[in-house]
Structure 1
Amino acid sequence: MAQTHEWMFYEVMWRGWAGRDRVPYPVPWWAQQAFRRWSDDFDSGTYESKEAAFASNALYRYWHLVGVKDHRQESLIGQAGEIEPVYDAYCLSFFLHDPATGTLRLPQLAAGGKVEQRWEAPHLPVVLTTFRTPEDVEFVQRTFAAPVGPRQRDLVVSRVTVGSPTGRLREGLLCAAVLPAGPSGFQRHDRGGGGRGSDRRLTFLRHLPDERRVETSTGWGPVFDTAPEQFGVYGNPDFSFDPDTYLTRGPFHDLVVGGKLNGALQAQDQVAGLCSAVFGWPFRVVEDEVFEIAVRLPVDVFNGPGDLAELRATPTAELEGVNREFWSAKLLREGMQPELPRPVAHLADLFRQARSQLLILSDHGEIHPGPTVYDSFWIRDSSVEATACSLVGDTTLAERQLGTHYPLRFNRGTGRVGPCAEYGFYGGPHEKDDREWDSNGQALWAIGRFDRTRGRRAAFGARLYVPYVLDAARWIRDNRDPYGLLHSGWSAEHLGERDKPHYWDDLWGLAGLYEAARLAERIGAPEVPELWGAFDDLKRATGDSVRWVLSEQRRRGAWETYIPTGPADVGRRDSTMIGTAAYFHPLRLHMGSKLGDDIDLAARHTLDTMYAHFVTGGFRHDAAWSAYGPYLTLQLAHAYLLAGNPERMDALLGWTVGAGFPTVAGRTVALGAWNEQHAYPVASDFGEVPYPRWYMGDIPHGWAAAEYLLLIRDILFFEADEDRDRHLYIAPGVRPHWVPGGARVGVDAAPTLFGSPFGYRLGHDPAERTVTVEITQAPQGVRFVYPCAFGEVRSVSADGRELPVTGRDVRVPAGTRWFSVTYA
């Protein structure tokens, strides 16, 4: 049964939307999509009522994000420029009012005018929202986050300028609205107890004119640089249970009907938490004139007059300049710098944007996979995120995450976690409650890979070896089922049911044990034979199980070869088999056929089976989500790159890039970011609205951002056989159409698993059918392989001497500084 405030919110949104032609109401974009194709079917396993699901915004979690690197709280930006500080119970939105006619122009509504949004630059997390009315009045809203004052506390700044694009005299009222509902929803109330920062009810609202600021239920709200000339604060003083109260006695009704606000300073609403307020500044502009206001939203905790003075002390232009310089230095001058030619230059732009998203999602060194319901620390997600950060140059963040926060998740207790020992298990509440048995393999894998990247002199792995590597490896050895596999659990919700075992866990366990044994070798630890013994034992158990499943499927008449999600799912040909992609990426168990040639071949066939049945542009995950999986699509693309099929990699990458900029009814609803699940309606502009319910994760999704960084990096180069015949593939995923004549591909200052950076420049001359590669940086003793994608190789010259031709893979000795390839 719906709670009162949930029912009331649903009714106010619906009635506001239905009556928008009479009195416009700023219904958020996500609510409009729900009303566009409403269904009473909802996830009753999660929510108690359709109103609770609606108030939680379970279906359309699309927005933009700004924030300060390593700070706790991010802020969301909606499709109409709405600003939602995640853990504060309010949302700020701007609109225009013409007092002469009573006309309201709300950017939320199509009839209000045209809205366009973009990032100021790919490396700058500054959202520009431009709103132009039918009367040719335009406001431009610049929203960014910045630290302020000696303690570098976080705030969001929105600078709004109003102008007349045609140069004709325009006047009216620029308004700012404080409302409870934001891009993420109204209140997440589910059977599991809700989510962090989920309650956005505004039960109290107060305007303090002398301080030019607003107080909300949870603390300080917006602070105005310039005092508004009009204001009104609205609540529910009569404790009415009639939803129309909020529409007929609200600020938008007052402006349309009476032309002015109520002038109240304070309001309460103890019924539904739907307090609201509007503040207005008159403007008069002509030709090149603009009218500007600035609003500051305190994100960190501010209290008292001293904090207010500190929050206001730095001019907005200076705050914007500091923000610009920080991100320019971080993303343009530090870390890996990909160079891609014009046909694919957008891939490099998105690369820098994904870097910024991971840095913003880092909370004091913990990378969280999302800003709201996923604003927490998972070993699984963070292992990929930290590895991505380390390999693109954000080394300090990766080191803090793996070296500080992983040991804090290492359990030392003597109890039990389900069928397993507590001691030696990596995990907090998520991993324990859901039996995420993949976490130890992920922790060991990430620690081992980072130790390689940092190099021997850093001794990162040596400092963590006892107990965080050795005892975690022993946990994998000692906590397995009678068949030698890891127990049933729910390591990732895309794998299937939690009461079954999944090969995903075993593959991660193998990769973790492999890295643990190699680390032990590098530091000369005496447990090397013990760790290799644990690896071999899990290898035997996993290999035997997979071979049994494959033979049983053949016995039952299956004509396609595929490895299902686990041994309890023989014959299950559905999208949960995506877990097998991890065999290639990120675990690279195919290098050296670590499970045997037969399983290696079966894993390759599994990729093709998935592609044939579950890819329509992107990877469709109907078995668990009834939605596209952006990060799963990137995993599959990466697996194809490493398995030697760059054509399919390119196709999957192209779809994923497009999915980061979905358009619905002509409005771009994301600016280069991905959810965990990409809804079919949004992906198809509502051409496909499935009957089964679906659920949306946060955006941006940190795991997806990390997968994108890793894929672009490995398209440009990747390492192979790090422990024996060390070599490096140059441009293995660069497609011929990426490099027109005279264009260059390259990378600078790219960290490697060999412990020192790599850089190169590749040029293409199609007239001469020649590719030239200049090595600008390289680890010592590492040879190179260039898989020529342009045609059959005819000749190779390296540093002035001819090399033998060996097919399309051009093999170049270590130490080479320049080589040239001619092709047919």
Structure 2
Amino acid sequence: MAQTHEWMFYEVMWRGWTQQSLPVPWWARQAFRAWSDDFDRGTYESKEAAFASNALYRYWHMVGVKDHRQESLIGQAGEVEPVYDKYVLTFFLYDPVSGLTHLPQLADGAAVEQRMPRPHVPTVVSTYRAGHDVTLTERIFAAPVGPRQRAVTVVQASARSGDGAPKEGWLCAAVVPAGPSGFQRHDRQGRLLTDRRITQLRYAADQALVETNTGWGPAFDSPPEQFGVYGNPDHSHDPDSYLVRSPFHDLAHGGKLNGALQAEDQIAGLCSAAFAWPFRVSGDEEFGITVRLPVDFFQGPADLDELRSVDADELHTAHEAFWEQKIKGSGLQPELPGEVGHLGALFGQARAQLLVLSDHGEIHPGPTVYDSFWIRDSSVEATACSLVGDETLAERQLGTHYPLKFNRGGGRIGPCAEYGFFGGPHERDDREWDSNGQALWAIGRYDRTYRGSGLGAKLYLPYVRDGARWLRDNRDGFGLLHSGWSAEHLGERDKPHYWDDLWGLAGLYEAARLAERIGAPEVAELWGAFDDLKAATAASIRWVLGEQRDRLGEWETYIPTGPGDVGRRDSTMIGAAAYFHPLRLHMGSKLGDEVDRAARHTLDTMYARFVTGGFRHDAAWNAYGPYLTLQLAHAYLFAGEPEKTDRLLGWTVAAAFPRTGGQEAALGAWNEQHAYSVASDFAEVPYRPWYMGDIPHGWAAAEYLLLLRDILFFEADEDRDPHLYIAPGVRPHWLGEGETIGCERAPTLFGGDFGYRLTHRPGQHRVDVEILRAPQGVRFVYPCRFGPVTGVTVDGEPVAPAGDDVRIPAGMRRFTVEYA
């Protein structure tokens, strides 16, 4: 049964939407657009609870300050929601002559536009063109302010004439409870992950400050001329009372606000308020206001003065300068031609998103429901950061936060020992047995990249050695990791998954190599643990393949999610993509030729059965998986099929900019899941509920960084014959006549930076490559994608070609490849 406030919220939103009288957020409008009484009954007790939690349409934009805890979400109509504060700020226009209230939420898609002027700078600009030819613009960003550098989200809102003719009106701001993320996320376990109920709302007119419940809300640089605060004074249970006791009703039926300073609502928590600034503009004139949202902890008059101590334009200038230097002035700089220039812009934006999602050195995979630390996600995120030049953040994650998640107790976690296990509440409660392999893998990869840091040696005892021993000693009777729920995209938690074993192998491999590099005495012991898990995993996979052939007569070769799923041919087999990326177990065929071939066939089975543009994960999510699509694209890059990589990449990039009804749903960010309805502009609405995680999804951002980097170059055989592939995923259509592609200042797993520039001259059937910098002793391979190689010149000397994979000795600086 729905709780009172859930039912009330549902009714108020529904009636406000049908009457076009309230600023109903984008996600609620999409739910009403394709309403179904069906919902996820395993998670929510009622359709109202599922609706109030925004279970299906989790799309928004984000701003925030690097290394600060709280981000602010931006809705599709310019609403601003500080994640942990109980209010949402939205803007609208009022025309006192006609008595019409112009809400951007009620406009058609063409009337509202949003953009990020520079994608690597987290600033969102939202523009609303109202019906009376007045344009409302918001510039939204977050920045540190004052001596303690506490974070504030700043909104600069302005009104101007749309046609240059004189215009008068009111620029209005409203404080409401429902925003981009939802109203209240309340599930059957009683978790209140998001609760935006406003039970008390107060306007401190002498301070031009709004207070919600017990905390500060928006602070205005200039006080409004009119204001009104609204609640439920008689404790009414009639939803229509909320439509009548509303600033939007008062403006439409009388042209003024109630002037109240305080209100309460103990029934539904739907208090609201509005504030108005009259304006008169003509020509190019603008009337503007500044609103500051204290997303850090502020209290008292001195803090209020500090909050307003820096001019908003100065704050924005400093904000832009910081991100420009951080993203464009350091780290890997991809050089991409016009055809694919947008990939570089998205690369910078993904870097910035990971930095914003970093909370004091912990990268959290999302700003709301995933705003906590997972070993699994952070292993990929830290590795991506280390390989694009954000090594300080990566080192802090691995060197500070991983040891804090290392268990030293003598108890048990299910069937496994507590001591030596990497994991906090997520890993322990859900028995995520992949985490030890991921921790060891990430530490080893970082140590390879930044060998001078000494991080591997610092963490070797007890973390690496004993984490590896945990993998050796905590396996089932078949030598595999126990049943668990390492990632919900793999299937049920009561079964074992090869994903865990593959990660365990990669982690043990890196642990053994690290032991070799530092001269630890346990080298043979760690290689023994690797060999033992390798033998068990390979034997199990071969057994499954044999059973599928002999018992089920399967003509199609594929590796299912685990040994308990013989013959299970569904999308949970996506876990096998990890064999190639990020684990690179195919390099050196670490599990044997038969398993290697089966893994390659599994890619093709997935592509044929579960890809329609992107990877469809019907088995677990009933939605697209953007980060899973990127994993599959990466696997195909390593498997030598870059044309499929290119197709999957193209879909995923488009999925970062979805539109519905002509309106932007996101501005260069991925959800964990991408709803079929949004992906198709509601041409396809699923027949059953689907799953939605967070946005921006930090793991997806990390996957994109790693994929674009490896398209430009990737390392191979780091331990025996170190070599580097140049432009392995660059497609012919990327480069026109005389156009160049390359990178600068790119960290590598060889411990030195790499940079190159490739110029294509199709009129001459020639490719010119200049090596700008490279690690010592590393040779190069250039897989020519433009046609059969007919000639090669290395540092001015002709070399007989030997196939289309052109091999260049270490130390060379220039080479030319001619093709037919």
- Measured against the shorter chain, the TM-score band is over 0.9
1:261 maps to 2:286: no
Structure 1 residue corresponding to 2:525, chosen from 530, 534, 548? 530
Matched, 1:518 2:513: yes
3-state DSSP of counterpart to 1:431: helix
Match of 1:80 among 72, 77, 82: 77
Say if 2:19 is the partner of 1:19. yes
Q: Secondary structure at the match of 2:682?
A: coil
Match of 1:549 among 536, 544, 550: 544
Aligned counterpart for 1:342 among listed residues 338, 342, 359? 338
1:534-577 per-residue CA deviation (whole Å, 9 max, x = no partner) reads 00000000000000000000012101000000000000000000
**TM-score, normalised relative to structure 1:** 0.99
- 2:421 is the alignment partner of 1:429: no
Question: Helix, strand or coil for the counterpart of 1:120?
Answer: coil
The question of 1:100 aligning with 2:126 is answered no
Are residue 220 (structure 1) and residue 216 (structure 2) matched?
yes
2:457 aligned counterpart, secondary structure? helix
Deviations 1:276-297 (A, max 9, x none): 0000000100001110111000
Kept after mapping to 2: 8 A contact 1:660/1:670: yes
Are the aligned partners of 2:616 and 2:622 in contact in 1 as well (CA < 8 Å)?
yes
When the two structures are superposed, what TM-score results if normalisation uses the length of structure 2? 0.99
Taking the TM superposition and a 5 Å limit, the aligned residue runs for 1:376-395 are 376-395=372-391
- State the Cα distance separating 1:112 from its structure 2 match: 9.7
Contact conserved, 1:88 with 1:218, CA < 8 A, in 2? no
Q: How many pairs were matched up?
A: 819
SS in 1 for 2:155: strand
Q: Please give the secondary structure, in 1, of the residue aligned with 2:441.
A: helix
Q: State whether residues 757 and 777 of structure 1, in contact with CA within 8 Å, keep that contact through their aligned partners in structure 2.
A: yes
| 3-state SS of 2:249 partner | helix
1:51 aligns with 2:48: yes
Shift of 1:162: 0.8
Match of 1:109 among 102, 106, 109: 106
Preserved CA contact (<8 Å) 2:432 2:486: yes
Letter in 2 for 1:361: L
Distance 2:434 2:311 in 1: 49
Residue 295 of structure 2 corresponds to 299
Question: Within 2, Cα distance between the matches of 1:112 and 1:659?
Answer: 18
For the aligned residue pairs, the C-alpha RMSD in angstroms reads: 0.8
Alignment match, 2:460: 465
Deviations 1:571-595 (A, max 9, x none): 0000000000000000000000000
1:110 Cα deviation from its structure 2 partner:
2.3
Alignment match of 1:631 (pick from 627, 631, 642): 627
Q: CA deviation digits over 1:511-552, x for unaligned, max 9?
A: 000000000000001100000000000000000000000000
Give the secondary structure class of the aligned counterpart of 1:104.
strand
CA contact (8 A) 1:105 1:112 kept: no
SS in 1 for 2:59: coil
Matched, 1:278 2:268: no
Q: Which residue of the other structure, out of 198, 201, 216, is the alignment partner of 2:197? A: 201
Q: 86-95 or 101-110, which moves further after superposition?
A: 101-110
AA aligned opposite 1:176: A
Counterpart of 2:672 in structure 1 is 676
Aligned pair in 2 of structure 1 residues 195, 812: CA closer, same or farther (>3 Å)? Answer: farther
Is the Cα–Cα contact under 8 Å of residues 110 and 662 in structure 2 kept in the other structure?
no
Would the aligned equivalents of 2:10 and 2:48 in 1 still touch at CA under 8 Å? yes
Q: 1: CA distance between counterparts of 2:691 and 2:80?
A: 23
Give distance in 1, aligned partners of 2:804 and 2:341: 26
CA distance in 2, matches of 1:579, 1:500: 14
SS across alignment from 2:812:
coil
Tell me, yes or no, if the aligned pair for 2:109 and 2:661 is still in contact at 8 Å.
Answer: no
Extract unaligned runs of 5+ from structure 1. none
Q: 2:658 aligns with which of 662, 665, 678?
A: 662
Q: In 1, Cα distance between the equivalents of 2:769 and 2:108?
A: 55
Structure 1 partner of 2:796: 800
Match of 1:314, SS state, is coil
Match of 1:503 in 2: 498
In 2, are the aligned partners of 1:107 and 1:113 still within 8 Å (CA)?
A: no
CA–CA distance in structure 2, aligned partners of residues 785 and 394 of structure 1: 27
- Distance in 2 separating the partners of 1:118 and 1:414: 53
Which of 362, 367, 371 matches 1:366?
Answer: 362
The alignment partner of 2:345 has SS state of helix
Moved more, 800-809 or 497-506: 800-809
- Deviation string 1:758-796 (CA, Å, 9 cap, x unpaired) is 000000001111100000010000000000000000111
The residue number in structure 1 matching 2:470 is: 475
SS in 1 for 2:206: helix
What's 2:784 paired with? 788
- In structure 1, what is the equivalent of residue 743 of structure 2? 747
Alignment check: 8 A CA contact 2:90 2:175 kept: yes
Q: Deviations over 1:416-469 (max 9, x none)?
A: 0000000000000100111100000000000000000102x3211000000010
Contact 1:543 / 1:595 at 8 angstroms: preserved in 2?
yes
* Amino acid in structure 1 at the alignment position of 2:261: L
Change (3 A) 1:765 1:41: same
**Unpaired stretches in structure 2, ≥5 consecutive residues:** none
SS in 2 for 1:121: coil
Counterpart-to-counterpart distance in 1, 2:109 and 2:493 = 48
Q: CA deviation at 1:165?
A: 2.7
Cα distance in 2 between the residues matched to 1:656 and 1:86: 26
Q: 1:189 aligns with which of 181, 186, 202?
A: 186
Matches within 5 A, 1:591-606: 591-606=587-602
Work out whether residues 195 and 373 of structure 1, in 8 Å CA contact, stay in contact via their aligned partners in 2: no
Cα offset, 1:695, TM superposition: 1.6
